[in-house]
Structure 1
Amino acid sequence: MIAIFSDTHSRRSHELEGEALTAAREAETIIHAGDFTSETALDAFQDECDRLFAVHGNADEPAVCDRLPTARVVEAAGVRFAVTHRQDGGETGLAMFGRSREADVVVFGHSHRPTVVETDDATLLNPGSHADPRGNRPGFATLEERDDGALEGAIREPDGTLIESLEIRSA
């Protein structure tokens, strides 16, 4: 399983609970699209997750920014993920970011709004914020490999309530 998070915005912990915490503990790969806010939150995530691939966001303190890149590429389950916190230019800018990295999926954060958008270039996936939804539904995403090689997934609230289902096929 791949678990995807963003926008933790915490000064004290990872703020994971319910199915979000279970996913973080059980996933083979964890992707985080930034805004842990504090080193304490980043360290708490790293304590829960064996394979955390994260970027920093615009609200991260300097010590977090020093430890994490602005963007990265992660390959998992035969799919290429381009990860950023925020990209200027909206959906077009995100799609171009993904194309420049030959990505199947662009994982991003910043808006705190759980979102899946299919473009000609890549699937754009914002898991939302599991801890600080700011008027949106709290969210995180999980993806699991099917027998046919595609990834089947969902964005869920931390209590497990389904927000949106998705399917990803590598190019």
Structure 2
Amino acid sequence: MKAIVLSDSHKNFNSIRRAIEKEPDINLIIHAGDVQRDVDDILDAWPELPCEFVLGNNDFNVFNVPTQRVFVFGGKKIFLTHGHLYGVRHSTFRLVQEAKKHHADICIFGHTHLPLLTEQDGIQILNPGSSWQSYGIIEITDGKVKICLKENQ
């Protein structure tokens, strides 16, 4: 199972298209907010692929979309949020505490536009950065998780 992780596209659908076209064998698209309706374009362009997404701090007049969600992919529980509600510009502490409440294996966030891949308290933490510059890949095979960051140039 392979997922592409994007965030902070801010109406730049070309950056999303470029990233997804580099990864033809994905099973899931994940967007961590500041979508600005790019998700509508994602769903139109790749209707065969499921898409998990949340609202960011710049997603105005978008309704019925949560600011965070928990879902399972490849047998692993993922906590997805934009991050602005958890003060991620200063620290990931509150974010990790929330992910732990949900018993998440992986925590995905955006907001800072800076890519980050680390582990805290047994939870793998991924910020793919701004889709204009980078994205993340999560591969899960036989219960083993491999996460990487890639440039989107």
Report the TM-score when normalising by structure 2. 0.86
Deviation at 1:117, TM superposition (A): 1.9
State the match for 2:75 in structure 1: 78
| In structure 2, C-alpha distance between the alignment counterparts of 1:53 and 1:79, rounded to whole Å | 14
Other structure's SS at 1:16 match: helix
AA in 2 matched with 1:13: F
Higher relative contact order (CA 8 A, sep 6+): 2
Match of 2:152 in 1: 158
| Residue 34 (structure 1) aligns with | 33
Name the SS for the 2:72 alignment partner. strand
Match of 1:119 in 2: 120
* 1:103 paired residue number: 104
User: What residue identity is the alignment partner of 1:127?
Assistant: P
Range 150-159 or range 109-118, more displaced: 150-159
Root-mean-square deviation (Å):
1.9
Output the amino acid matched with 1:43. Answer: D
C-alpha distance in 1, partners of 2:22/2:82?
Answer: 21
Amino acid of the residue matched to residue 16 of structure 2? L
Q: Deviations over 1:109-161 (max 9, x none)?
A: 00000001211141111011112xxxxxx1101122234x21223110124xx
Residue 21 of structure 1 is matched in structure 2 by: 20
Cα pair 2:117 2:148 within 8 Å, conserved: no
Question: Which segments of 5 or more consecutive residues in structure 2 lack a partner in the other structure?
Answer: none
Q: Which residue pairs with 1:57 in the alignment?
A: 56
1:129 aligned counterpart, secondary structure: coil
SS of alignment partner, residue 58 of structure 2? coil
Give, in whole Å, the separation in 2 of the partners of 1:23 and 1:70. Answer: 28
Separation in 2 of the partners of 1:3 and 1:84?
A: 15
Give the partner amino acid of 2:33: G
Task: Report the CA distance between 1:42 and its aligned residue.
Answer: 2.1
**What percent identity do the matched residue pairs reach?**
29
Could you say if the C-alpha distance between residues 46 and 95 of structure 1 is closer, same or farther in structure 2, counting changes exceeding 3 Å?
Answer: same
Give the TM-score normalised by structure 1: 0.77
Q: Secondary structure at the match of 2:92?
A: helix
Matched residues, number: 146
Code of the residue aligned with 2:144 in structure 1: it is A
